[in-house]
Amino acid sequence: MVFIVFVSFLKGFSNDELFKKGVDLYKNQNYPEALIYFDSLRKLGFVSAELFYNLGNCYYKQNELGKAILHYEKAKKINPKDEDIIHNINFCNRLVRDKAGATHESPLNRLIFGTFSSNNYSILALIFSLIASFFVLMNLFTLINPKIRITLIVLSIICSIAFLSLAYFTNNYQSKEKYAIIISPKVTIYVEPKENSKTSFILHEGSKIEILEVLDNWKKIKFANGKVGWAQASNVEII
């Protein structure tokens, strides 16, 4: 266990150093080099809203609008209430050529899955489980009213289970989401999954789409205006 903790500490320290180096390079307007450091963290499996946010900033500074929006959207999935992330997404969306309105989502889904991430719900579940444990242990040290103590324990356990359930459903919902971003400057959407097929419509980088089906190197997509067609997989990336 000591070895595992020590290795985890070293890994975390290394990640922090790479991240700080990337931030310093970004502040000095060395965006290509900063992108290399941030992207190396991504390739190492490091995931955080801050990392994706900075990746989005780097891509935006290099005029890669599609990849900028992609990483801002990834950051939003982790931290859906961050004002800077939301501002940058809204700003970049105004630069996207294909205007079709926002993707539709029910108010209930926005309330449950757009308020907190699964990590936030997990933390709340842990807090209430610790509160329940605290009131259980209080019986050993104080003469608190048993009825009040039991009531508080039951309420804490209920809240813990509720938030744990929300964490599970939020994670499940996000994993099933099939939204993606067009990352190529201009993409032809075909009627069928083959290049000699009839052209259905054209999309440009930054457009948000829904993935309906995957077939080999093709993805069947749906744009916000309801149009459906097939795009080559290399031109889109799932959020």
CB 54 within 8 A of CB 26: yes
Structure tokens at 221: 């997509």
Number of domains in the chain: 3
Of 63, 93, 123, which one is at a domain's C-terminal end?
A: 93
Amino acid at 231: A
User: Residue 92 has which token pair?
Assistant: 């970049």
- pLDDT tens, residue by residue, 129-175: 888 888 777 766 666 677 777 888 888 889 889 888 888 777 776 66
Distance of CA 57 to the CA centre of its chain: 15
Residue 134: inside a domain:
yes
Same domain, 70 and 11: yes
Whole-number pLDDT of residue 13: 45
Residue 13 falls inside a structural domain: yes
- What pLDDT is recorded for position 27? 95
pTM as predicted = 0.69
Where residue 76 sits, what CATH number does that domain have? Answer: 1.25.40.10
Residues 20 and 89 in one domain: yes
Residue 211 and residue 143 in one domain: no
- Please tell me whether residues 79 and 147 are part of one structural domain: no
Looking at the domain assignment, is residue 11 inside a domain? yes
Whose tokens are 């965006």? That residue is 31
Token pair listed for 104: 């539709």
- Same domain, residue pair 117 and 183: no
Considering the domain architecture, whether residues 11 and 75 belong to the same structural domain is answered as yes
Place of tokens 């599970």: 168
Residue 58 lies in a domain: yes
Which residues, listed in sequence order, are joined to residue 221 by a DSSP beta bridge?
211, 229
Task: Identify whether 103 is part of a domain.
Answer: no
Domain assignment present for 159: yes
pLDDT of residue 133: 84
List of the chain residues with pLDDT < 70:
1-14, 100-115, 117, 139-144, 173-177
At 163 the pLDDT is 84
Q: Count other C-beta atoms under 10 Å from residue 51's C-beta.
A: 22
| 114: helix, strand or coil | coil
β strands within 74-227, DSSP E: 179-182, 186-190, 199-204, 208-215, 218-223
What is the domain range of residue 167?
109-176
Cα gap 83→81, rounded to integer Å: 6
The answer to whether residues 78 and 117 belong to one domain is no
Render pLDDT for 17-34 as a digit per residue (tens, 0 to 9).
Answer: 889 999 999 999 999 999
